[in-house]
Each structure stands twice: as structure tokens, then as C-alpha cells.
Structure 1
């Protein structure tokens, strides 16, 4: 690339096109570009959010692809989908396109727009543009694409992996791994698909530069990622001569950190209602669960605030609209789960509030780093809750499964035909998300391979690395304790976070509530608290009936498949609340949580059940007919709770208590909740209708109110309702205290 000074001059010119006439490269930005473009090395950048990591790979791309010439397009004339250069006219330099592996569609959209400002032709292949894949693939082969953005999951899509990836790896001019902490299972957001990058790395031509970037990596994660980047080095921990690690200060001088200790979810919502308009500009309110995001957004809207909810369960179009409304400052806040994290770019974000603490200081720092990038001050507030630890335990339960379950899946995949994830569920008692995560890890380890139609075992030797998994679990526990200590530390909060990321933080920040005193107090006005208590105190969650049996039940000897017959289905039901609710969640966990003792149903919960029944009978979507009687689901674990609940409902509603459906056989039906196929297998024929109850059901003229304590998978109520209907019940109305999740 010639003289290094000349290369830097050209790099500065590209940066000005990208970021404005006054932009100048930081020294570490230039060191990274120099290593990539001149020395063709592998570089890991650990730099704070807003430092300009994307500028490094766009400038490097422009230099490598010959887009830095005086005739390169300006922001006004940058190529678009309608004015793309042809294969005959595209200036391709002497290398192929840059491939950027990004985790989120939001990041991809932002990066395509940023690339155009530098005169760089960027395209993306993702799940939202399936109809464009063929055209984009043709452009890649024709050499007209400068930058291709893909998700890590795309690396193992069978069609992409087998038809596009080999050619792409052979011609890649620069590989960029964004949010590289996802590569490491020591990181706070490990994603198994990122591990497939190692295969991509080994197939790159010799001398292909590689850039990995992240804003959140401690020393352990940094070393792990660097080890994986250097495919030519020896064992992990040995000299990585070809990987240049550029680690800058992670201090964010615009952020003012604070923690407010409030006694209940109602106090936290009330505080937000009182103080949200005092927070600068627009921002993000993070919650730990989908349910909490929905509740918080609904409450704030009821108090007059323009806010929107943002979760991974929302449609992509709704998420994009919510993102744009925040970018345009049309709303005060997005109330979001961690689905809004990496990749969302709003430089003037004025605040980040957390209702509940993330499970590690590193995850927390990654989220708060969204704020204050282009404003002098941004407020960062943590409002921890007593329920945080229970939510952390739930997510920790989704970790890599025990060895016997893994071996069972490997044995099932040693067949001549691939098995889908659904077909594997009857084989192993793992929920869908956990099973898919396990398969991805096994794929990366070479033990299985994803093909058209599902998965196959490769037959390659595989070792269950119990020691490493145990160390990762211990690291997660330590991170949770560190998050508790962050909330209570008497010292500088920014210094504490930086130390958790192994960043040099010898001096206090001078800005946080510990250094400069609190800007906000924990006062909640009476009206706001009363409104929050009333809002969170509303009981009632709808239970949607199951309509399809899980696939693959014939493989485990259960003769059920396809649609559940309408004459055997339950009607829509009700529950008091979810275990993850801000309002009723804590109260219900005390009754039906794993450590809860069996006891008669308390009066306050009975009162909530009565409110649910009143709304159910007279609300917008009432039951079709008044129940003709009450039936309890027989329980081994909580017989007093379920039995007393059925008795109280019958007494208050002046309904006959018809009895209970009795549990039979082994106790497996009351065991741990797993995937749908395993639950149906365990529950099939696990209950019986006593003769006296059977005789009563046939003469009923109205539905049965079927009472249980906890709905997890939903299959207990489904199968018991089917049993009652097969014995003559005209209809079944399920009623439960709580819904898991």
C-alpha cells in the first residue's frame, strides 16, 4: 500500500467523507487501520461504545477496495440499490469484499447507511430479506459488493454454508467480527453461532486481515477471543504474534451513574412516573423480562408518557418502528428487554434506567454504554429489585445440559436421515431454546452437522468438557455477586465497573452519586405510588388453549398427533398472574415457587381470584356460560393449596364442588418441566376420573371450572380438560393461580 504516511493521509480523507470535515483518526484507530491495510494482520479492538470502531473497518474497506481515490463517490453520490456499479465498472482494488458478522438487524441497517456515506457499496443477507438473496449472491460473485453484512447464524445455514460461504471465504478481503465478546463463553452474551467463525477463519486466504471489535470484554474474554482469532498459534495462552490487541480506556465521561434502592415494584414504577420527565432527552428503560417491559410501558402510558415497549417477542416491523420513533425523539423512552442492546445507535440518548439489575456488571456496562455518546451529560440509573436474583436463576437454568442428555441426542442423531429439532424433543427432556443452543455448540465442536431437514451426527470423537462448564458457571455466580456489590458499593461506581472489565481505573470519576452526591432521591409521591399499586394489583392473565399436539409423540409410544379435536379442547382460561409480573409475581412465587411450602390458599389471593372471576364473567371477553361446578387437579406437591382453592371458589361462587381428577402411576407427571413432547409423554394417562365424578360430568349442562396452582407448559390443564370432556363435561374453563415465565 506504499508509504505509511500516504496511507494515513488517504485514510483521513475517507474518514472525513464518513464523519464530516472536522473528523480525525484517533491514534488507536490509525494503528488498527495500519495493521489491517498495510501489514494484513489480525486485530482485536476493545474500545468503549462511541469510540469509532465502525470507522476503522469502513476506512480499511475503502482503502483495500480502492474506494479512497479522488473520484470515489461522495455522500451525495454514493451508490444505492438503483445505481449499483456493474461488474465492468466497479472499482474493486486488489482484494475481495469485506464481510462483517453482526448480531442484530438494527446494527446492519445502521451500517449500510453509514457505508454509503463513505462511498462504499454495502449489502446484507438476513432473515428479513429472503427474496433478495439470489440477487445479492450474484452481486458478490460479480465483485460489485464492497461490504457484506451477515448474522452469525447465517454461517451455518445449509444453503449459505454450502453454496455461498466457500466462495466468500476464498475471496474475502477483510473479515470483521462485531461484538466479538459473543465468541467467548466467558462473555456475558455468548452465542454458539459465533464459534463457527473459527472455521471461516481457517478457510481465509493467507494474509487476509481480520478485525474483531467489542466494547465489553474483561481480560479473560479478551484473551479467549484473541486465542480464537489466531488460527496459526499454538495452544490457547501461547504467544499470539499475529493478533494486535488494542485496548483503550472504557471510561465514559458523559455518564453519571446512580443507584436508587426502592422497596417494591410499585415504588419503582411510581418513581418513574414522578421523575421520567426530569430525565434529559429521550432514552431507554430496561427491564429483565418481557412481562415487565409490557407492564411498565402500559403504566407509563397511563400516566401520560409517550413510550413504547420493545422485546424479542415483537414483530420485526414493530421493533423497527419503535427504534425509529426513539431515534426521531417522538417518544420519551423505549421500555425494552436486552433485545435492544448491541447495535442500537442513537448518539444523543439522554438516559438509561434499569428496572432490575442485569446479572453482571459487564452486561450492565454494555447496555448503559448506549447513552451519552454525543451529549455532555447522560443519566444512568439502576433501580434493583428483590426479585432480580430469581430471574437470574431462571436464565442460569438454560445453561448447557448435563452429559447424559447430550449423549442421548448424539445417539439419536446416529441415523441415515436427519432429525429436526422437533423430532428430537421426544428423545431428550429439554426445552426448544436450550436444545437448539446445545445443538449449535455440538455443531461448532464438530460432533453434529446441520443439513437440510435437520441435524446429523458426524461420528467424530467428542468430549464433554465438564471442568470448563463448571468454571463458566462459577464465573456467572461471581458476576452476579459483583452486580450486588455494585449496587451497594460506597466507592465510585464508574471505577467499580471499569475494574470489573479489568480496565485501569485508578481515579474516581467525580460524577456518580458516590463521588458527587445523588442528583435524584428515592421519594415517590402519594398519587404516583397509589396509581402504581392499583395498576400492579390488577389480577388476571388469559390462558390460551392448546390446539395442536407436539410432533413425534409416536416415537415415545403416545398415540396422539395433529390437531386436538375441538370436542376435547379446553376453552380459554384465566390465571391470577405470571411469576415474572412486577405486581403479582412476588406474591405468587411465595406460593408456588420451588421452595414454597404447601399451605391453604391465603385470603388476599382468594380475593384476587374472585376479581379474576368477576372480570371473566362480565368483561369484554366473558365465558360463554356460568360454570356448573368446580373440579380440582389432583396435586402431589401442593394438595392443600389446590384443594383449598377449589373449596373457596365453590363456596364463594355457590357452585358444587364436584371433586378432583386424581393423579395415578409414578410421580413423573409432577417432575421438572421440560419440552412439550416430554411433558405430554409424562402426563399421558397420568390422571384418572373417579367413578363418582364421571357420573356427575355426564349430567352437567354448563362448563366445569378446572382449578390448578401453576401453569408451566400448559399440558397438564390440556390433558386433564381432554379427560373431563371425554367423560362427558360439556366444556372446561381452566383457572390457575400462576403462569410460569
Structure 2
């Protein structure tokens, strides 16, 4: 036994608390590559194999040799929290800098200066924070002992969870002193992603690198997942290497089979039946686990349904408060809840070794993403159940997310142009929104892509153009789009396969060691019940038939809208605002969301709209919303927003409200100046500009409103997205003397 192995084994046994512990095959090889050879390594191993042990052991060995702290780039807060806790158990002093602990940053900085930190965890986004990047990172890089890139598939835009900020790691590696080892780890990478990640680790710091993330040698140049020089091994846990320009990456890849998992697929006809099945059988699922959904609304609706039926569950999404998320993670780990009903926000790296089950209500868009999520289960148990209940709406949801991370050439050039025209002074993201018609989230994503490509740069105060040329790589994005389509088809194939499901997932990750598992529903028989208790079907149906969601009024005009010709700013005067309103449902809701999605399917397409009066069932659901509203004062009349796409639909709902409440329907506002311009969606500034001065109170409506002065009116619209149409219409009515406006929309977009 070498001195390094003996020391590493001692640390490992302290880490796991067992005197008989030994390394899994490939673990020490990775540690040796980092510590003794000071090389770059890519480790692709199944969840639960012990990738964190590699970087914690390597860190302590390097620190004993006088090296500086490890920088661990980690993508999710939940993962960071688990890594800090695991480090403490291993005797590793780990701290994090992230959006949830700004109050600790000064203390962390002092600890770093005092060399009291072994591992610093940062998010990839933090690496481009101007203050951190310009004031703290340079000094840290002169001392760094090891760089770890966790969940390294995020580097690759062929990966299932690409994040633009990860591609900045190329530049970070290039800035590090020579001889600093680099470790990239993931459990979810097929050959194409492995090749891409290794190529980026190779070209970063290479004397022959052009600095482009798509230079010669990148897998984007051929599109082949098995191009010459690929570091993909043949399933052996032993290493292979790729060398370019004198820099070598050692790839250690092992088999990805998870012997503890029992996989199955249960196809049911609709959301009602899926929820009824869950209500019928959740108590039969082993231990505690995770129930995944594809949307925030589905997670919240499912959690509410289960709680009302007496099951201890919590919702966990990207919109959940940070403190609540942390509390929920702890409750699941302590088995104080049966399940967390979660979106993909609870995914990479969440560590509960005895998690008993993972169930999906709706399928992720690729087998690779599915493998990553089911990998939460059965990490330290002999058995764990994994069941997929796919939904008919899955493909529509996949289609939206498939293209959301790819930049539009027109929008990208508009952003660069706006920054260039600003003369070198920084523009904040809100200020850019008034110059480019993009909502905040896609605008921020596009800025990150352009930043990584070198076209823009984040500075204190906002963003500036670098002046560097930028070309839209249409061929690359078309290849990515085609790959996403293939992944979606592969997920459908997984649902329908009659072969071994674990073998299917392994082969989707290019694991050549795949053989039938002997445990899944296809290798044996369906291990899960398929029946639904009649009383649970009734409970699920009643829950999905629930109506009414809040429609919050706008309180402030968007920043910078004056530059678009709308001379308003600051708070909307109280005398011009709407009251809080209601919508029947969100388009993403499990219940009425489905029928509403059908009504508005062509809302943003070039296809002609389908328009017809609302069905009796839809009318009755809308009237139930009014009955449950609980307003302070009953409306005296109904007014509708004119709709060019759904006039019959809106008119039928307005007339039904008038009939049910024995109220006058006073008609619609008028369309003027050609009516609203632009398309649905877009950011607040543009949406307001597109509807401003395009509605008016006509003479007939003005005369009718005289009879209800000092009373509220009910304002009816079809689909509310930005809410600026309702805000402008409500303002006109308030300025006409209406005492209060109660807005109603058939659907909220989200």
C-alpha cells in the first residue's frame, strides 16, 4: 500500500465512521490522479458511488501538503447544504457563498484570509458576480489547491440540465496556476456529454486553445458522440485519457446500474385517475420519498390534495421560500413527512440515503433526466421503488422547455445593439427590458449566454457590450433542438418498452455494461397495484374541479416604459388601480387547466383561433368562482374587454355573469388606433406599450356607466398573462368615474 493510499484510506474510514471501509473501484484511482499526479479528471459514476468522498479525501490530502482551499462549484442550494453537512462529518471545514446567506459573506471572507477553510462552495452564477469576480476571486485563485466541478453535465448544452454559467469554468481553469488539479463529476452523462465536458477541460488552459467554447476538437464540430479521441471508456472503471495541446483529462467511468431500484411504469388515462391512484396507494409506498411533477402548479395542487386527505406531505418548487425549502428537506430526511411533492428544484445531489421511493406524475423529457431524478432513491438501502405515471400533457410541457434555453438571433442582436448604443455605460436588466421585448427570466438567460460567448460582460451597475463580434450559431442550435426531440422520443420509448427498464436507462447513458436487472416490471411482473379506490376517484375529481385563483392587480408601472412613449412611472395611483380579481384557473393547473389549454392552444401561434361560446360546464365553473369570491361590495354591472381572437367566448361569459347576477352587461370597451399590437408574452414595458392608447370608453358605454357611478363593476377578459390589458382597461373605467373594478379572466397563463 502506498503512503497516499494509506493516508487516503484513513480519511475515508473517518468519513464513513467504519474501520473496515475500503474504496469502491475507481475511487482511489481518481484521488491518486488528483493528489499524486496533479492532473484533470472526469468521474462518471452512478449516484451513491461516492464521488463526494473523492473530493473530500483529495482535499484533506492536498491540504496536508500545504495546498490552498478547494473551490467546489455546485449548482443547487439543496446540494450545497448537503455537501457542507457531509464535509463537517468528514472533518472538512466547508463554507458556502450563495444567494441564501449574504449575511455570512464577510465572515467567510475572513475565514478564507485566515486559511481556516478547506472547501469553498460557490454557485456557477457567483463566479460572475462583479464584486466576487473582480475583488475576491483573483486572490483566491492564487491559492486554490483543487477545483471541483460537481454535476458537470451542466457544462454541456447536450446535457439534460445545461446552465450557461457553467461554461465560464473554462476561463476559470485557464486563470489557475499551473499544476492545480481539476475534478469534474457527474452521474448523468452519455458519451456525447462526456466528450463535450472533457473537451472543455482540455482546451481550457491549453496553449493551443482559441478561447472559443466551440473550437476545433469540440464535439459540436462533428456532432458524433463517438468521435476520435473521445474519453468515453467501454464501461471499465479504469481510466482513459484525452490529450490536446499538452493537457490531459483522465476519465474514470463505471457501470451505472442501480441494483436497489425496482422500476415500473403505470399508464393511466388522465390526471384525475393518476391522483386517485396516488390517494389509494401512497401509504403502501415504502418509507418516505419524492413525488415529482413537471410544473409548479401541479406540485402545489398535488400536495394540497394529499394534505387534505390526511397525508403528511409538502410542496417543494423553485418558487418555495428558501427557509421553507430547507425546513422541508430536513423533515424528509427525518421521515417527518411521507413525501415532498417537488419539481426538478429538488434534484441533483439531494442526499437521503434511505429514500424509499421516487414517483413521477408526468415524465421528464429524457431518460437521462429521469435517471438523475430516480437516483435520489435507494442509495443506502437494498430496495427502493421507482414508478412513473406519465401524462397525456407531458409532450406539450416538454416542447416549451426544449427551446427556452436557446437564444433567438433577433433577440440576441437586439440586446447587443441596446448595450452598444448606450455608449459603454452599464445598463441594468430592468433598463434593458425597456429596450428589448423579453421577459426577465429569458432575458437573464440570454445575457448569460452572450456573456459566456464574450459579447457582453456583467459589471457593477448592470451589463455592457464588449465590442467583440458575435455570430449566431444556427447550425449548432438546430442540432441541439434535434437532439432534444430525439431525447423526448427516447422517453416515450422507455414508457412503452417491453424490455428491461434499467438496461434501457443505462444504454441511454451509453453504459456498455447494461444487462437486464431482473427486478423491474418488465423483467418480472407489475409489482405495483393498478386499481383505484372508487372513493378516492371521487376525492380526486372534486379536487380537480376546484375553481378560482387569485388575480393580483398591478401596483407599479414598469421601469423605463417612458422610452417607449408611455409617460408614466412609479406607483399606479390608488384611484386608477383595479381591486384583487379572480381567474377560473391557471393554464398549468391539473384540473381546469386542461380544458383551458385546449381553448387557448392557438393563442400564440399563426393558426386561426378557434372561437365559440363557452360550454355549459365552463359557464357553471365561472359562476362558481363568482359565488366563492367574497368581495366587499357586489358589482353593479358587467363590462368586457374586447377580444379579437375569442369574442364569442368572452361575450358568452360576460352575458352569463349578467344573467346569473341579474346585472346589466354594459358591453365592451372600444378598440382604437388599430387595437393592441405585438404578440402575447414579452416583458412588462413592451406589453404595456402595446396596449396603451389602444382601448377607449366609447360614448354608449360612457352613458351606461353613468347609471352605476359610485358602484363596482365586473371586468371580464379571456386570458391574463402580463395583466397590462386588464390594468389599462381598469384604469380607463376608474377615470370614467367607476368606484372599483373587479377583474375576472378565464385563465392565467401561469
Instruction: Place the TM-score, normalised by the shorter chain, in its bin.
Output: over 0.9
Partner residue of 2:106 out of 134, 137, 143: 134
Residue matched to 1:604: 617
* Stretch of structure 1 that moved more, 109-118 or 193-202: 109-118
* 1:15 equivalent among 12, 15, 20: 12
- Displacement of 1:506: 4.3
Matches within 5 A, 1:245-644: 245-414=251-420, 415-594=423-602, 597-616=610-629, 622-644=630-652
Give CA-to-partner distance per residue, 1:622-654, whole Å, 9 cap, x none: 112111111111011111111121112212221
Is contact 2:506–2:514 with CA below 8 Å preserved after alignment? no
Q: Once the 2 structures are TM-superposed, how far is the Cα of residue 382 of structure 1 from its aligned partner?
A: 0.5
2:257–2:514 Cα contact (<8 Å) kept = no
Q: Which of 46, 49, 56 is the aligned partner of 1:48?
A: 46
Checking the alignment, whether the CA contact within 8 Å between 2:642 and 2:669 is kept in structure 1 is yes
CA distance in 2, matches of 1:429, 1:666: 20
Partner of 1:738, secondary structure, is strand
Q: Kindly indicate whether residue 217 of structure 2 is the aligned counterpart of residue 236 of structure 1.
A: yes
- Secondary structure in structure 2 of the residue aligned to 1:538: coil
C-alpha distance in 1 between matches for 2:678 and 2:67: 61
CA contact (8 A) 2:47 2:375 kept: yes
Displacement of 1:204 in angstroms is 0.8
Give the structure 1 partner of residue 178 of structure 2. Answer: 206
Which residue does the alignment assign to 1:81?
none
Cα distance, 1:343 vs structure 2: 2.3
Counterpart check, 1:103 vs 2:103: no
Among 145, 162, 166, the residue aligned to 1:194: 166
Alpha-carbon separation, structure 1, partners of 2:82 and 2:562: 48
> In the alignment, is the contact (CA less than 8 A) between 1:492 and 1:512 conserved in 2?
yes
Which secondary structure does the structure 2 equivalent of 1:171 belong to?
coil
Instruction: Please give the per-residue CA displacement for 1:324-372, whole angstroms capped at 9, x wherever unaligned.
Output: 0000001100011111001210000000000011111111111000000
Q: Quick one: distance in 2 between partners of 1:229 and 1:324?
A: 35
Distance 2:69 2:469 in 1: 36
- Note the C-alpha offset of 1:667: 5.5
2:726 aligned partner? 717
4+ runs deviating over 6 angstroms: none
Q: Secondary structure at the match of 1:285?
A: strand
Q: Distance in 2 between matches of 1:402 and 1:228?
A: 24
The answer to which of 693-702 and 553-562 deviates more is: 693-702
Q: How does 1:23-42 map to 2 (within 5 A)?
A: 23-42=21-40
User: Does structure 2 retain, via aligned residues, the 8 Å contact 1:494–1:509?
Assistant: yes
Residue matched to 1:87: none
Q: Is the 8 A contact 1:704 1:733 kept in 2?
A: yes
2:675 touches 2:695 (CA, 8 Å); kept in 1? no
Alignment partners' CA distance in 1, 2:576 and 2:675: 25
Give the Cα–Cα distance (whole angstroms) in 1 for the partners of residues 641 and 404 of structure 2: 28
SS state of the match for residue 516, structure 1?
A: coil
Per mean C-alpha deviation after superposition, the further-off stretch among 137-146 and 536-545 is 137-146
Match of 1:180 in 2: 152
Contact 2:403 2:481 in 1 (8 A): no
Secondary structure in 2 matching 1:514: coil
- Contact 2:297–2:588 under 8 Å retained in 1: yes
> What's 1:74 paired with?
none
CA–CA distance in 2 between the matches of 1:434 and 1:128? 22
State the distance in 2 between where 1:572 and 1:395 align. 31
Secondary structure of 2:638's aligned partner: strand
Q: Secondary structure at the match of 2:707?
A: coil
Provide the rounded CA distance (Å) in 1 between the counterparts of 2:334 and 2:61.
33
- Cα distance in 2 for partners of 1:419, 1:394 equals 29
Over aligned residues, Cα RMSD in angstroms?
Answer: 1.4
Question: SS at the partner of 1:413?
Answer: helix
Q: In 1, Cα distance between the equivalents of 2:627 and 2:354?
A: 47
Residue 670 of structure 1 and its aligned partner are, at CA, apart by: 6.3
Number of aligned residue pairs: give it. Answer: 707
Matched, 1:704 2:713: yes
The aligned runs of 1:22-171 (5 Å cut-off) are: 22-66=20-64, 93-171=65-143
Displacement after TM superposition at 1:393 (Å): 2.1
Deviations 1:409-434 (A, max 9, x none): 11111223111111011211111110
Q: Give yes or no for contact 1:300–1:307 (8 Å, CA) kept in 2.
A: yes
TM-score of the two chains, using structure 1 as the length reference:
0.94
> Does structure 1 retain, via aligned residues, the 8 Å contact 2:636–2:712?
yes
Offset at 1:546? 0.7
Which residue number in structure 1 is paired with residue 221 of structure 2? none
- Gaps (5+ residues) in structure 1? 67-92, 617-621
Unaligned runs of 5+ in 2: 210-215, 219-227, 230-241
CA contact (8 A) 1:694 1:728 kept: no
Q: How far, CA to CA, are the matches of 1:387 and 1:552 in structure 2?
A: 38
Offset, 1:217: 0.6
| Aligned-residue offset at 1:207 | 1.1
Question: For residues 259-291 of structure 1, what are the alpha-carbon distances to aligned partners after superposition, in whole Å with 9 as ceiling and x for unaligned?
Answer: 111111111111011111111000000011111
The answer to which of 119-128 and 159-168 deviates more is 119-128
Mean Cα displacement is larger for which, 516-525 or 387-396? 387-396
